Amino acid sequence: MVTVELDKVDEIIDRYVGEEGILIQLLLDIQSELNWIPKEALERISERLKIPVSQIYRIASFYKAMSLTPRGRHIVNVCLGTACHVRGGPRIMDRAKQILGIDAGETTPDMKFTLERVNCLGCCALGPVVVVDRDYHGKITPAKVKEIIETCD
Amino acid sequence: MTFQELQNRAKSEWEALRNSTYILIGTATCGRAAGALATLEALEKELSRRSIEVKTIQVGCMGLCYAEPLVTISKLDSLRIVYHNVTPELVPRLIEGYIMSDDPCLELALGILEGGEEESPYIPELLRFEHELRLVLRRCGYIDPKNINHYIANGGYNGLEKALKLQPEEIIEEVKGSGLRGRGGAGFPTGRKWESCRNAKGEPKYVVCNADEGDPGAFMDRVVLESDPQQVIEGMIIAGYAMSAKQGYVYVRAEYPLAIECLQTALNQAKEMGFLGDNILGSGFSFHIEIAKGAGAFVSGEETALMAAVEGKMSTPRPRPPYPAQAGLWGKPTLLNNVKTFANVPLIIQRGADWFSSIGTERSKGTAVFTLAGKINNAGLAEVPMGTTLRELIYDIGGGIPNDKAFKAVQIGGPSGGCLPASLLDTPIDYDSLREAGSMMGSGGMIVMDEDNCIVDAARFFLDFTTRESCGKCTMGRLGTLQMHETLEDIVAGNGKIEDLDLLLELAEDVKAGSLCGLGRTAPNPVLTTMRYFRDEYEAHILEKRCPALVCSELIAYYILPDKCDRGCEHCVLTCPTEAIKGEKGEIKVIDQEKCSKCGTCLEVCPPEYNAVVKLSPISLLPSKEKGEVK
């Protein structure tokens, strides 16, 4: 891990020193800053906040919003909540897998895309829904998936 | 400033707005998914290009998600008109038509916006408003969620002002008398919970709002937080005062970034105005609220797991008792309620328990907020008095099923709820009637399924969900659900045995009895209700290897009807992702069943004038020549 990144981790830890019950929020901040949580970050938190690594790892591996492997520049979230499921969500997911050549939860070798399935994004009325990074796309068809993925640079 | 002064200032700001021409545009998450941000950009561009000084205000969601992006033009001395599906291309037409001249562009309008201030806003053209009674949703989509003055000018913080003059015990009596029950799903009487926490020994006490709306298909808490977050904050402050607590937390799921943003803005503004923080409105009472962001675990919605997450720990449930009211956050008495429960509190305090308990049924008071999704024309949000029937909700408010398809089932209450058939459409919506029917009120997510949805596939979907989301702590939650899921996988793949059905029922009882938390205890509900009402569909999958809804891919085959195929067109050949369709130009196209991945693209692209692609189930219906190629 490069020093710059570790500096960022330190900065984030600084915000939480001395506070109670902060581990999840702290890990979420690192996740959003670095797009994943490297092993070195876990070690650094452990060292500075005197929390066993095992305890930090337990949390980081439990929550879906945290990733212990590097993620792609673009995160493609396909919603497979109930409403999207009954309106053809699984076919959207199949198409996305086929286009990207990866399974849900995986990242393309060029580190451009990570494909994720989510349980529900709360825009059920417009399902099936795909969210790329922070852009929401409603009423998606398999053909539109291709279009959306292709417009990512 | 005193409350009176704050109110006067807010009211004059609101009056000034109402005495001008202005535009409201819904930019909650559902609006955004429909393209509202592009519409907003087009609006602002067009207004500045023409140098028109008209305020554009971003509002939340009116509950009419099917019609997003929604734009309301409120014209001075004229009507307020709501326009639906406003794409950027329609913007110049609206501005030229209704803002620059007097053409109301009725062909683009959903209706006229009436009401506001004293009564909840409504659109008389829409039948749904005859059934709806909006309390929690009354300001949603109508005020700017990031402007506290809009909230105050529309009745906001009146409840708190009144509450601070009462004794905590009087507030609890009022909540008890209202008959309000927990809106998170289980329906525990709110007043009793408050009383029990108030009386619990231990200091300090905490107030926690559960905004971990994890049930897929439920999104009303998101809408409330994105459209009118102050009412939740106000409810929490009143609860804090009644508990003599100093600290509150709102636990919001990570999948709701916009809700978190709106809530944070609202908290900051409430603090600036003196509704939150030290010495609230000069009363001597101090209360603070922080947001705890979720990190993507469904089980966190369970109250004990949620508190573990707020403490920064792994989110797993623990046995109850002790209940959170006795020993919650950091072992201290903690009042935990859902977003909508808190949202109801300010009105109860303001208008009184008698008023609230006059709404609804004998044992379920007030209103129910439901989300309508799936196979329904007017997908979105509705708030109705308890006791409204499912039929009224689905047909009169939801506008029925699209494309004249037949209604099959409505799934209520997410993965913990059940699927109810057409014969139960006249069931009134209240805690007890829904439970009797085998479902539950749950968080209020309602998903409509039509004849094209497979009921066994739906049950499999829910068990897949609960298996994935099980935290792994108790055996039945971890392995019982897994075993049920695997049995359902066998059935949808055509490998089920008829004895599996009894096994599933037996297992369902065990999982219900042996799970630690609500997630496990209710996980079998989708299986139990579908077996109770749709056993024939299970039997068709097992005995005939047939999926009646033509959904389960292992039991269906795509087939091109030779007499309908146009021969000349090649849509299916060119779009098939696995190159499974053979046939030169001018020949009848044939699907190679071995190569076919059953993605359905051919059926989708075959021009409607031919409609040559059909799905067959069981696969044995394929003409013998093609059947030979099926594995």
Write the residue in B34, B309, B375 that is nearest to A24 by C-beta. Answer: B309
**Shared domain check, B284 and B164:** yes
Question: Torsions phi, psi of B249, nearest 5?
Answer: -130, 145
- Smallest Cα distance from B196 to chain A, Å: 26
Q: Which residues of A touch B26 (CB under 8 A)?
A: none
**B188-221 residue pLDDT tens:** 999 999 999 999 999 999 999 999 998 899 999 9
User: DSSP character for B397?
Assistant: I
pLDDT at B440: 86
**Shared domain check, B533 and B584:** no
**Shared domain check, A126 and A87:** yes
**Please, which pLDDT band fits residue A1 given cuts at 50, 70 and 90?**
low
The verdict on B30 touching A (C-beta cutoff 8 Å) is yes
Q: What is the 3-state secondary structure (H, E, C) of chain A?
A: CCHHHHHHHHHHHHHHCCCCCCHHHHHHHHHHHHCCCCHHHHHHHHHHHCCCHHHHHHHHHHCCCCCCCCCCCEEEEEECCHHHHHCCHHHHHHHHHHHHCCCCCCECCCCCEEEEEECCCCCHHHCCCEEECCEEECCCCHHHHHHHHHCCC
**Shared domain check, A11 and A45:** yes
**Residue ranges making up the domain that contains B247:** 158-357
- Are A125 and B411 in contact (CB < 8 Å)? no
**Please, which pLDDT band fits residue B629 given cuts at 50, 70 and 90?**
very low
**Shared domain check, B537 and B445:** no
CB B305 within 8 A of CB B515: no
**Shared domain check, B449 and B374:** yes
**Shared domain check, A47 and A12:** yes
Write the residue in A21, A66, A127 that is nearest to B310 by C-beta. Answer: A21
Other Cβ atoms within 10 Å of B335 Cβ, number: 28
Which residues of A, range 109-128, sit inside 8 Å of B by Cβ? 118-127
The mean predicted confidence, pLDDT, of chain B is 95
- Are B447 and A86 in contact (CB < 8 Å)? yes
Q: Which of A11, A30, A62 is the last residue of a domain?
A: A62
Write the residue in A86, A121, A136 that is nearest to B374 by C-beta. Answer: A86
Alpha-carbon distance values, A92 to A73, A140, B103, B571 (Å)? 21, 8, 42, 20
In a domain, A68, yes or no: no
Other Cβ atoms within 10 Å of B321 Cβ, number: 8
Greatest alpha-carbon pair distance for chain A in Å reads: 51
Q: Which residues of B touch A81 (CB under 8 A)?
A: 216-217
**Shared domain check, B608 and B479:** no
User: DSSP character for B68?
Assistant: P
Q: Which residues of B touch A119 (CB under 8 A)?
A: 214, 216, 255, 298, 465, 469
**Shared domain check, B210 and B103:** no
**Shared domain check, B175 and B107:** no
**Please, which pLDDT band fits residue B566 given cuts at 50, 70 and 90?**
confident
pLDDT at B624: 75
Q: Which residues of A touch B208 (CB under 8 A)?
A: none
- Counting the structural domains of chain A, the total is 2
- Can you tell me the mean pLDDT for B505-513? 97
pLDDT at B626: 60
**Shared domain check, B243 and B166:** yes
- Counting the structural domains of chain B, the total is 5
Which residues of B, range 225-244, sit inside 8 Å of A by Cβ? none
The verdict on A91 touching B (C-beta cutoff 8 Å) is yes
In a domain, B627, yes or no: no
In a domain, A96, yes or no: yes
Strands B119-122 and B557-560, by their bridges, are unpaired
Helix (H, G, I), strand (E, B) or coil at B72: strand
Nearest C-alpha in A relative to B412: A82
Which residues of A, range 27-86, sit inside 8 Å of B by Cβ? 27-28, 58-59, 62-66, 81-86
| Closest by Cα among B454, B440, B284 to B375 | B454
**Shared domain check, A49 and A96:** no
CB B530 within 8 A of CB B501: no
Alpha-carbon distance values, B158 to A15, B152, B240, B347, B356 (Å)? 37, 8, 16, 8, 16
Nearest C-alpha in B relative to A67: B295
**Shared domain check, A88 and A49:** no
**Shared domain check, A89 and A38:** no
**Please, which pLDDT band fits residue B254 given cuts at 50, 70 and 90?**
confident
pLDDT at B631: 38
**Shared domain check, A113 and A53:** no
A11: domain CATH number is 1.10.10
Write the residue in B35, B217, B379 that is nearest to A81 by C-beta. Answer: B217
The verdict on B159 touching A (C-beta cutoff 8 Å) is no
ipTM for the whole complex = 0.93
**Residue ranges making up the domain that contains A19:** 3-62
**B441-498 residue pLDDT tens:** 888 899 999 999 999 999 999 999 999 999 999 999 999 999 999 999 999 999 999 9
B569: domain CATH number is 3.30.70.20
Q: Which residues of A touch B471 (CB under 8 A)?
A: 62
The token pair at B357 is 């308990």
The verdict on B577 touching A (C-beta cutoff 8 Å) is yes
**Shared domain check, A145 and A120:** yes
In a domain, B149, yes or no: no
Question: CA B554, B477, B526, B383: dihedral to nearest 10 degrees?
Answer: -130
**Shared domain check, A91 and A58:** no
pLDDT at B28: 96
**Shared domain check, B305 and B178:** yes
**B98-135 residue pLDDT tens:** 999 999 999 999 999 999 877 889 999 999 999 999 99
